[in-house]
């Protein structure tokens, strides 16, 4: 079989494997629900009453904050593109909205949609957009860790949180993560090939494939960092990231406070909200299509019950509305937008996956022949 045939068949094999995984997880969840059906005591009348009594204006505030966050993402991506091509942030807003709609409906396999759409919109190389995507994710993780750490270290009610000593150590670890991110970015920017080679050797000791993958990810991150030509660009990107994630945090807070009939939720503080936000973020790392919605709701609802003794009915209602406000609310906008731009989400997801693999392979081949400047 030729190399091109192998490359063409690989995405189909990956999709088949993921489908089998989703079916297997779904069967396991249904089996678990069947086994636990007699132990779960849930009042659906109370659940719907909690939703009816909630302050829906606060849900609206949460949705607006999330949508503004997509605008900031477009501004930040345009900032990353500035050395290559000056692009109006408004022209990139559709790529963000459609991309996150694809992720909400189709799961993590749709992650390459945003870089792919940006490359099509701007005419820039796709490999460069994947490099921007890698840097964007690092800024997101660093911003979340910094906000999490600062809130939990300096919140007035931090001593009233569950397991305050553990939370304090976790917050300090968050600051170390941010410092490590800044140091890693500095070293990768200064000596990308050397750092990539160290990662290749470290992970290659476990598996040669892991070593090659780590090597390419470090170099891709280096390429993305090259988009930030000055300290001013770095600070601007960081401030945009902090503002965006601050808005997301307040969207969580307003959504939880909307449940006025539940005292623990109505009196929710920012520090308590950060614990739930961290739980939700961890639960969304492996985002399965549709099925992942219910697992994430269950994880967050259980955290509310365990951490803050919220009753099962308002906990499920709040977990559901958190998912709707912060993750699913963009779907109607994205579907309409994709309709106007004649974009099929399934088709664009498959195309972006194949194009992404080809772009990464091409970038790896180019690096084998071009020495570091």
Rounded Cα gap, residues 21 and 93, in angstroms? 33
CA dist., res. 283 & res. 205, Å (int): 30
Choice among 73-77, 108-112, 164-168, 226-230 with the minimum mean pLDDT: 226-230
Q: For residue 262, which of 63, 49, 44, 57 has the smallest C-alpha distance? A: 49
Position 33 pLDDT exceeds 60: no
Confidence of residue 46 (pLDDT cuts 50, 70, 90): confident
**Residue 1: pLDDT over 80:** no
pLDDT band (50, 70, 90) for residue 370: very low
Residue 265 has pLDDT above 60, yes or no: yes
Tell me the per-residue pLDDT of 89-142, one tens digit each, with 9 for 90 and over: 999 999 999 999 999 988 878 889 999 999 999 999 888 888 889 889 889 988
Identify the weakest region by mean pLDDT among 178-182, 290-294, 327-331.
Answer: 290-294
Q: What Rg do the C-alpha atoms of the chain give, in angstroms?
A: 22
Percent of the chain with pLDDT over 70: 82
* Residues contacting residue 343 through CB under 8 Å, at least 6 positions apart: 98, 117
> What is the model's pLDDT at position 373?
39
% of residues, the chain, pLDDT over 90: 32
| Cα(95)–Cα(298) distance, integer angstroms | 30
- pLDDT tens per residue across span 155-174: 888 777 887 888 888 888 87
DSSP letter for 159, please.
Answer: G
Highest mean pLDDT among 125-129, 280-284, 291-295: 125-129
Cα separation, 206 vs 201, in Å, equals 9
Q: How many CA atoms lie within 13 A of 73 on its CB side?
A: 27
What average pLDDT does this structure show over 326-335? 94
Please tell me the predicted confidence (pLDDT) of residue 155: 83
Helices (H), the chain: 3-35, 44-53, 56-81, 89-106, 113-122, 126-154, 164-190, 192-204, 208-225, 231-257, 263-266, 270-283, 291-308, 312-323, 330-340, 345-369
pLDDT band at 3 (very low <50, low <70, confident <90, very high): very low
Q: Is the pLDDT higher at 108 or at 344?
A: 344
Separation of alpha carbons 110 and 123, rounded Å: 20
231 has a pLDDT exceeding 70: yes
The pLDDT, as a whole number, for residue 42 is 63
| pTM attached to this predicted model | 0.80
Banded model confidence at residue 362, pLDDT cuts 50, 70, 90: low
Which of 10-24, 147-161, 348-362 shows the lowest mean pLDDT across its residues? 10-24
Q: What is the DSSP letter of 49?
A: H
């Amino acid at each position: 079989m030729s190399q091109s045939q192998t490359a063409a068949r690989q995405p189909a094999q990956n999709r088949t494997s993921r489908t089998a995984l989703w079916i297997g997880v779904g069967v396991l969840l249904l089996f678990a629900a069947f086994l636990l059906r007699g132990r779960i005591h849930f009042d659906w009348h109370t659940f719907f009453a909690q939703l009816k009594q909630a302050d829906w204006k606060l849900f609206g505030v949460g949705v607006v904050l999330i949508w503004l966050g997509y605008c900031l993402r477009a501004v930040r991506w345009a900032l990353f593109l500035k050395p290559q091509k000056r692009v109006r942030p408004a022209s990139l807003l559709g790529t963000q909205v459609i991309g996150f709609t694809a992720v909400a409906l189709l799961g993590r396999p749709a992650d390459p949609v945003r870089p792919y759409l940006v490359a099509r919109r701007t005419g820039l190389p796709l490999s460069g957009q994947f490099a921007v995507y890698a840097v964007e994710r690092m800024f997101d993780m660093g911003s979340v860790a910094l906000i999490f750490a600062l809130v939990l270290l300096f919140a007035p009610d931090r001593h009233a949180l569950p397991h305050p000593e553990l939370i304090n150590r976790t917050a300090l670890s968050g600051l170390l993560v941010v410092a490590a991110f800044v140091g890693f970015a500095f070293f990768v920017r200064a000596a990308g090939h050397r750092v990539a080679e160290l990662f290749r050797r470290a992970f290659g000791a476990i598996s040669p494939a892991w070593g090659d993958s780590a090597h390419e990810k470090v170099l891709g991150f280096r390429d993305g960092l090259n988009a930030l030509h000055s300290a001013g660009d770095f600070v601007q990107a960081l401030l945009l990231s902090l503002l965006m994630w601050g808005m997301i945090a307040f969207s969580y807070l307003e959504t939880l406070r909307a449940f006025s009939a539940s005292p623990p939720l109505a009196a929710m503080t920012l520090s308590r909200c950060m614990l739930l936000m961290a739980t939700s973020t961890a639960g969304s790392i492996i985002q399965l299509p549709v099925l992942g919605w219910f697992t994430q709701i269950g994880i967050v609802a259980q955290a509310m019950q365990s951490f803050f003794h919220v009753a099962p009915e308002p906990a499920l209602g709040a977990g559901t509305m958190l998912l709707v406000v912060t993750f699913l609310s963009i779907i109607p906008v994205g579907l309409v937008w994709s309709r106007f731009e004649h974009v099929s989400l399934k088709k664009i997801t498959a195309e972006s996956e194949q194009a992404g693999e080809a772009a990464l392979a091409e970038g790896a081949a180019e690096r084998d022949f071009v020495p570091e400047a």
